[in-house]
Structure 1
Amino acid sequence: MSYLLGLDIGTSGIKGILITDKGKVISNKTRSYPLSTPKSGWAEQNPKDWWVATQEVIKKIITESKVDTSQIKGISLSGQMHSSVFLDEQLQVIRPAILWSDTRTSKQCQEIYERVGGLDNLINYVSNPALEGFTAPKVLWLKENEPQNYNKIRHLLLPKDYIRYQLTGEIYTEVSDGAGMLFLNVQKKKWSEKLLDKLGIDKEILPPVVDSTEIVGEITAEVAQKTGLAVGTPVVAGGADNACGAVGSGIVKEGRVMVSIGTSGVVLAQIDNSVADDQGRIHLFNHAKRDSWYMMGVMLSAGRCFSWMKEELFADELDYDHLNELAAKVKPGSEGLTFLPYLYGERTPYADPNARGVYFGVSGKHQQGHFIRSVMEGVTFGLKDSLELIKEKGVEITEIRVIGGGAKSKLWQQILADIFANEISLLNVEEGPAFGAALIAGVGVGVYDSFEEAANSIIKVKEVISPNLESVELYDKQYKLYKQLYVSLKDEFKALSQIIEN
């Protein structure tokens, strides 16, 4: 029996998963670690906490599964995108990692546009706009605010690349994660020297870039002793969490789209041609599948809107099943009540940190169920924004696969089908990016000939939800109103932000 190990270095913790070459899950372990917010809008973690947790998770998996570790044919990693790990000449961590969710870099994002000559030039260099969460503005922030730390930098890594270094002693990144740093020319799969020159950043701090399926090291004797892994076990480069999530959902064929309703919301389509959006409304990144890309839209608050409503509006007194029951009693459209899901600003398609949540159209007839259902509908309208952008770029959508916590709700499944006006597919496997990382390991070491082989043999559609035509017509009208609400409120969102700041 052959086994594959996938590790996902997330924001709240690490998840490790051990599967057979047939895709059967043998062991699944998690370990959390703290997140620090030293100032408003800041988000930091100690990379050493990731490493301690990684060792514990691997050791638990090996101990409890009792597998012959010589039969673990490969290991690969997934990780939170954009977060910055700064290492000095001795390969020691200089300061806490600045995470993807950190928003301290608004000023640096504007500086990037000024230095490169505007959005058009930046899209030409790296196919994406400058956003606070990306890596490049974090480096500029460090240069301007902590010059003593910036001058110590010899290596700039992403979270999973730091953990891979700890496992193997080798320093690399790979294309799918590198694409999210805002330094990579995603068409050429090389660091953009023109951009680096304009930003005054030394290319030498950036690691070599490889394909996601390349073997880049092996488990060292020291790590084997600490974890129980076999010395010399191959370690495959891996991928960004969204790329790994796509692999784990079978999004390895053009036309397939993944919709994920987790804390945030993601709409991701695999494509064979790298055509960036010239307005920067939707991301273009390299896929884990070689010579392939994906378009991705991100909502900052998706499932988070539902949990916020549960905890704050209902004082956490109703469980999710009860909330779904109340919402199911309400007709589609929530009798005109419309929710804007911008609790923490928005990323796609507006990239507006000032945007805020809104309940629009409240009347005396609205009851608890209306407020619950309208959150589900509003989040789905937000996801539809990304889906429409993908269509606008000429991608012919053949299948929509839905994963994440929201996908477990029967009511939300139907709302998705109705608002998308499309069938949605539910999968037999939903283990997230760690599962995708395990499949990447399998392709990298030759257990599978290709991603298509792995996906077709392991990942199956277990159910298809069809849209209700009457609901489709109603939601189409309400979606037009939903889009107009942001346009009408954009200036007011900015004015509100200034009032709060002052």
Structure 2
Amino acid sequence: MVLHVGIDLGTSGIKAVLIENLSRVIAVAAEPVAVSRPQIGWSEQDPDLWVATVVACLDRLAAAAPREIAAVRGIGLSGQMLAALVLDADLRPLRPAMLWNDQRALAECAELLTLVPDIGRRTNGTPDPGITAPKLMWLRRHEPALMDRARMLMLTKDYVRLALTGEVATEPSDAGGTQLLDVATGCWDRHLCEAVGWDPAHLPPVVDSWAEAGRLKPGLLARWGMAGPVAVAAGAGDNMGSTLGAGGARSGDAVLTIGTSGVACIVDAAFHPGPERAILTSAHVVPGVYLSMGVVMSATASLDWVGQMTGRQVPDLDAEAMAFVTAQGPETAPVFLPCLTGIRTPLNRPDMTGRITGLHPGVTPAMLAYATMEGVAFQFADCIAAQIEVGARPERLTVVGGGTRSALWLQLLATALARPVRLIEGAAIAGPRGAACLAAVAAGGPVMALQDPVATSRSILPDPALAARLEGRREAMRALA
């Protein structure tokens, strides 16, 4: 019996999973995390809340399975990417972290692109206000006294690992999202740092994602009754962790995450940057491959918004939408472009807001829910088309994330893509499982184990009849952009 803990730090919640032999779940603990939006377009979190929530989750795992937690050999972390968290000389946060969906640094994106015209060919993509580097420029401009005290840049899961181990480190998959790292070489780029106004001495060392980046502190070993030592892996950005946990490790594997945001991750044997299509390209957490990422900024977040507007719970909206389209077909529903927080791939329009056409007195909450799921599916199809355009080659499509609980959403996705999509065993824990895989290697396991396959639970085929009915609606949605 070999036991590891995988922890996934999402935007709206944190999940920790105790896993035996990277396959059997022993215990799961999940806790919500609040997001602060002090102004329109701003999105922040208290980084110490990340730590407190992780500790609370591990407390729950220890209480639920004390015998198994004692035998844990490694902990892995995957976390929401692109945050800007600046620390002082004592490695304490100077302000709340600016998150991936923070949109305030629009002007800085244009400035950075002027300073470094080829940045999209050297880093993970074209400048976007959600990416770390423009946010650092915004902070320098608007909070200069605070930035004068800044001595370290941290990413979400790296700050939590610092609290668990006392060690400062990062790894290429997450660091690639800062636009301070040369993705092809995996090294911090002094010229990029100079353009942004950040001292490269104030960046953490970069180690392999599967490397041991510290060991759990003695006090925490005692708190959770772990025999120790417990290796803590460098970890992964959330998209890479979920992709690995869903079996996406070989070139041609593609993992689509229908979460708060949507991400189409395609494993690629070569570095195929696509800045002109707002594609993000970073190192993967498996040796020798990269990850091409197309981003849908609002996926389940859009359906949550419909729930808030209509006073319905999301599972009820899903059931009502399925009943609507089964009985009537999609034609009477509005056409909705659900870009509530902008469009990244393929248009790079962070300033865009949601747009809808076809409203009439007979529109129901079910129709709005259907239009939202359809619009997200169309956006995924646009992402993958753009990724293929720049050289990525998806061959095997897996879908994970909260949206997979909807049979309607899965059918719309397969049909919009005109490709089969598969579900996997344990899809709900893909992120923590990916983190646990890295923990297993950090604790002494073989690196090649990262390529072990994940079992398919079922496949969803495209529906040709539905595809014919969607064709005009997809063109109508594109016209909204």
Q: Aligning the two structures, in what range does the TM-score lie when normalised by the shorter sequence?
A: over 0.9
CA contact (8 A) 1:84 1:158 kept: yes
CA contact (8 A) 1:310 1:318 kept: no
Aligned equivalents of 1:133, 1:102: Cα separation in 2: 5
Q: In structure 1, give the amino acid aligned to 2:14.
A: I
Aligned residue for 1:78, secondary structure, equals: strand
Match runs of 1:195-210 below 5 Å: 195-210=192-207
CA contact (8 A) 1:75 1:441 kept: yes
CA contact (8 A) 2:61 2:69 kept: no
1:362 Cα offset (Å) = 4.1
1:361 Cα offset (Å) = 3.4
Indicate which of 430, 439, 442 corresponds to 2:440: 442
> Which position in structure 1 is the counterpart of 2:50?
50
What per-residue deviation string (whole Å, max 9, x for no partner) do you get for residues 210-232 of structure 1? Answer: 11101111112122233433342
Q: In structure 1, give the amino acid aligned to 2:407.
A: K
Aligned equivalents of 1:9, 1:63: Cα separation in 2: 21
Aligned residue for 2:344, secondary structure, equals: coil
Aligned residue for 1:18, secondary structure, equals: strand
> Which position in structure 1 is the counterpart of 2:149?
152
Cα distance change on mapping 1:125 and 1:415 into 2, 3 Å: closer
Cα distance change on mapping 1:96 and 1:267 into 2, 3 Å: same
1:233 Cα offset (Å) = 1.0
Q: Aligned pair 1:349/2:346, yes or no? A: yes
Aligned equivalents of 1:230, 1:43: Cα separation in 2: 39
> Which position in structure 1 is the counterpart of 2:240?
243
What per-residue deviation string (whole Å, max 9, x for no partner) do you get for residues 246-289 of structure 1? Answer: 01111111212111212211111111100101414211111111
What per-residue deviation string (whole Å, max 9, x for no partner) do you get for residues 309-331 of structure 1? Answer: 23313555982354234333355
Q: In structure 1, give the amino acid aligned to 2:53.
A: A
1:449 Cα offset (Å) = 4.5
Q: In structure 2, give the amino acid aligned to 1:421.
A: A
Q: Aligned pair 1:138/2:135, yes or no? A: yes
Aligned equivalents of 2:355, 2:91: Cα separation in 1: 47
Match runs of 1:2-151 below 5 Å: 2-69=2-69, 71-116=71-116, 118=117, 121-151=118-148
CA contact (8 A) 1:126 1:192 kept: no
> Which position in structure 2 is the counterpart of 1:427?
424
Deviates more, 1:351-360 or 1:376-385: 351-360
Q: Aligned pair 1:472/2:467, yes or no? A: yes
Aligned residue for 1:346, secondary structure, equals: coil
1:123 Cα offset (Å) = 1.5
Cα distance change on mapping 1:289 and 1:312 into 2, 3 Å: same
Aligned equivalents of 1:470, 1:403: Cα separation in 2: 25
Aligned equivalents of 1:125, 1:449: Cα separation in 2: 27
Q: Aligned pair 1:271/2:278, yes or no? A: no
Cα distance change on mapping 1:67 and 1:409 into 2, 3 Å: same
What per-residue deviation string (whole Å, max 9, x for no partner) do you get for residues 15-34 of structure 1? Answer: 11110014111111022343
Q: In structure 2, give the amino acid aligned to 1:44.
A: E
CA contact (8 A) 1:101 1:133 kept: yes
Aligned equivalents of 2:363, 2:214: Cα separation in 1: 59
Cα distance change on mapping 1:311 and 1:330 into 2, 3 Å: farther
Cα distance change on mapping 1:51 and 1:229 into 2, 3 Å: farther
Indicate which of 165, 169, 181 corresponds to 1:184: 181
> Which position in structure 2 is the counterpart of 1:490?
none
CA contact (8 A) 2:71 2:226 kept: no
1:357 Cα offset (Å) = 2.2
Deviates more, 1:464-473 or 1:236-245: 464-473
| Backbone CA RMSD of aligned residues | 2.2
> Which position in structure 1 is the counterpart of 2:217?
220
> Which position in structure 2 is the counterpart of 1:491?
none
Aligned equivalents of 2:363, 2:93: Cα separation in 1: 53
CA contact (8 A) 2:7 2:435 kept: yes
Aligned equivalents of 1:68, 1:299: Cα separation in 2: 39
Aligned residue for 1:14, secondary structure, equals: strand
Cα distance change on mapping 1:427 and 1:207 into 2, 3 Å: same
Unmatched tracts of structure 1, length 5 or more: 487-502
Aligned residue for 1:354, secondary structure, equals: coil
What per-residue deviation string (whole Å, max 9, x for no partner) do you get for residues 76-114 of structure 1? Answer: 111111112222222222222222222221122222122
Indicate which of 411, 415, 422 corresponds to 2:408: 411
Aligned equivalents of 1:317, 1:220: Cα separation in 2: 41
CA contact (8 A) 2:317 2:369 kept: no
Aligned residue for 2:27, secondary structure, equals: strand
> Which position in structure 2 is the counterpart of 1:294?
291
What per-residue deviation string (whole Å, max 9, x for no partner) do you get for residues 441-491 of structure 1? Answer: 12333435424553x2xx2111111112233334344433432331xxxxx
Q: In structure 2, give the amino acid aligned to 1:272.
A: A
CA contact (8 A) 2:66 2:225 kept: no
Match runs of 1:374-393 below 5 Å: 374-393=371-390
Q: In structure 2, give the amino acid aligned to 1:418.
A: T
CA contact (8 A) 2:258 2:401 kept: yes
CA contact (8 A) 1:220 1:232 kept: no
Aligned equivalents of 2:188, 2:23: Cα separation in 1: 35
Normalised by the size of structure 2, how large is the TM-score? 0.93
What per-residue deviation string (whole Å, max 9, x for no partner) do you get for residues 279-304 of structure 1? Answer: 14211111111221111111111122
Deviates more, 1:237-246 or 1:348-357: 348-357
1:178 Cα offset (Å) = 0.2
Match runs of 1:304-323 below 5 Å: 304-313=301-310, 319-323=316-320
CA contact (8 A) 1:59 1:228 kept: no
> Which position in structure 1 is the counterpart of 2:397?
400
1:307 Cα offset (Å) = 2.3
CA contact (8 A) 1:330 1:369 kept: no
Count residues with an aligned counterpart. Answer: 480
Aligned equivalents of 2:171, 2:94: Cα separation in 1: 23
1:435 Cα offset (Å) = 1.9
Cα distance change on mapping 1:317 and 1:387 into 2, 3 Å: closer
- What percentage of aligned pairs have identical amino acids? 30
Cα distance change on mapping 1:349 and 1:80 into 2, 3 Å: same
Deviates more, 1:16-25 or 1:466-475: 466-475
Cα distance change on mapping 1:481 and 1:68 into 2, 3 Å: closer
1:187 Cα offset (Å) = 0.6
Match runs of 1:474-493 below 5 Å: 474-486=469-481
Aligned equivalents of 1:37, 1:245: Cα separation in 2: 26
